[in-house]
Chains A and B, each alone.
Chain A
Amino acid sequence: MKKITSKTALTSISDSEIEKKDFRRRDFLKLTGASIASIAILGMTSCKKDHDNDMDNSGKGMYFGSGDIAILNYAYALEQLEAAFYIHLVNNPYSGISEMEKAFFTDLRDHEIAHREFFKMALGAKAISSLEFNLSGINFSSRASVLATAKTFEDLGVSAYNGAGWLIKDPNYLLLAGKIVSVEARHAAWVRDMIDNGSFANQEVVDSNGLDLAKSPSVVLSAAAPFIKSKIDVKDLPTY
């Protein structure tokens, strides 16, 4: 992968720290204790033959690429997950869903499909193929379960774009990420208000400096891993 050199790092991060941005499985494991469990789940799932993917030429899973391409594929993967969730939700609404909830969840579905299809088109031949997801842990007949999952996904999406922004090299891609992340934040605020009116930006997500969450790609993928059935290869995905 293309090394991130000090020439492109505007901050005072040392070279040894910059080296760490190269995504290595070993570093991934070192990052957080919590991530280990998720990786194990991912690893076990990926051993099953029926989940082997056609695009998997290396035997290591779908390759995200490196640099900005890897970050775009990372965003594409998250948008695929959100779209799959909302498609299932709108097709299988919980009983007693209000007209407004149904209309707005349909909007969310269409926004995530728009993001997903945009990334697919923008990435062209470099796009990963469609991922398979495991949504079996979500009780779609329960409003509380659906809203809690939507909150998790939307807050995670916001933190993912916020945390990956500085890793992006191309200003056009950065601007696109910016155009999408604020829409995810609008979603997150609405979903949170449906759970508890007034929780749109509470202390779970906004710190004492008034700053929203920002998470590294490795941390975000650890959180998303239980939902991702397909085997993925993110060894060259920039992270920290």
Chain B
Amino acid sequence: MNLLNVFEQINTVDPEFSDRISPRREAIKNLASISKKITFATLPFFVSELFKKAYGATAPTDVNGVLNYALTLEYLEAEYYTMGVAKAGLIPSGKPLGAITNIRDHEIAHVNFLKQVLGNKAVSKPTFDFTAGGTFGNVFSNYDTFLAVAQAFEDTGVRAYKGQAGILLGNRVVLTAALQIHSVEARHASHIRQMRRARGGAAADQKPWITGSNDTGIGAVVDPIYAGENNIIQAGVDITSLSGHMGKISSNAATQAFDEPLAAEAVLNIAGLFIKA
């Protein structure tokens, strides 16, 4: 399948494209505004002008925008794991190094795939600062910090893709590919959560799925990444009002069973902390 060719045709052959996505965008905005409000209320971060400079725009509004938004996040993850794997003595050899290397290879594959789809419309790679201006100063010397930031990236990635699905509605090639990347990020998140759980300490009770909001043990610094994950209302249905195995479905199960999207603005704010220029 020639992805590039198909992609070109979306923009050129389809004159009603923007007409059709605008009502959808409205719907997405309405859905997103809930999580956006929560996010900004708890946000200790500032809007990153640096990210805007690197990315050249704010929230994506079209297919190209979504792909470049995804590409930027994949650049971030690919470089992060590449640096982590390259740092001697950071990741224990054997299963841990094997898993992180596997994840690194997926993120590099995502970068290459998205660049291929975007062709000359692809944004270039920003310059990253994985210490987030010193917040995670030991990110490449302390294995637990490295895993904590990895988990933050993976759980953010899952939420970020979900938040953009509506713009890709009905798009066989691009939506399907985005979903295929999205579930790989979720597999990564599950595994890294298991790795952190096995390390014990603050993450000892953490599960491969997200319970409530910020179950990470990392602290308030990652609150914006999990804001709204404690939602128990789906399409107007209170999940805890439904019948479970015995009695009603618990609040924990209700939040675990549905991962929540994150509005692009919130994702950009989070990613922006790790971007220098």
Contacts and interface: CB of A to CB of B under 8 A. Distances in A.
Interface stretch (B106-114, B140-148, B267-275): B106-114
B207 A107 contact: yes
Contacts of A188: 187, 190
B110 to A, nearest CB: 5
B229 to A, nearest CB: 11
A61 B98 CA distance: 48
Interface in B185-240: 185-191, 193-194, 207-209, 234-235, 237, 239
Contacts of A210: 105-110, 113, 181, 184
B1 to A, nearest CB: 10
Interface residues of A, number: 62
Contact of B184 (A8, A114, A193, A212): A212
Contacts of A113: 243-245, 249, 253
Contacts of A165: 165, 175-176, 179
A114 B249 contact: yes
A12 B189 contact: no
A189 B190 contact: yes
A121 B237 contact: yes
A168 interface: yes
B57 interface: no
B234 A118 contact: yes
Interface stretch (B10-18, B44-52, B118-126, B130-138): B10-18
B27 interface: yes
Contact of A117 (B27, B102, B249): B249
B88 interface: no
B242 A117 contact: yes
B9 A12 contact: yes
B170 interface: yes
A178 B158 CA distance: 9
Contacts of A202: 102
A186 B154 CA distance: 11
10 shortest A-B CB distances, which residue pairs? Answer: A210-B109, A185-B186, A189-B190, A211-B180, A182-B186, A110-B253, A117-B242, A114-B257, A186-B190, A189-B187
Interface of A: 7-13, 87, 90, 104, 107, 109-111, 113-115, 117-118, 121-122, 158, 161-163, 165-166, 168-169, 171-172, 174-176, 178-190, 193, 197-198, 200-202, 205-206, 208-214
10 contacts: A113-B249, A118-B237, A163-B176, A176-B234, A185-B186, A200-B190, A205-B187, A206-B187, A210-B109, A211-B181
Interface of B: 6, 9-10, 13-14, 16-17, 20, 24, 27-28, 31, 95, 98-99, 102-103, 105-110, 112-113, 158, 161-162, 165-166, 169-173, 175-177, 179-191, 193-194, 207-209, 234-235, 237, 239, 242-245, 249-250, 253-254, 256-261
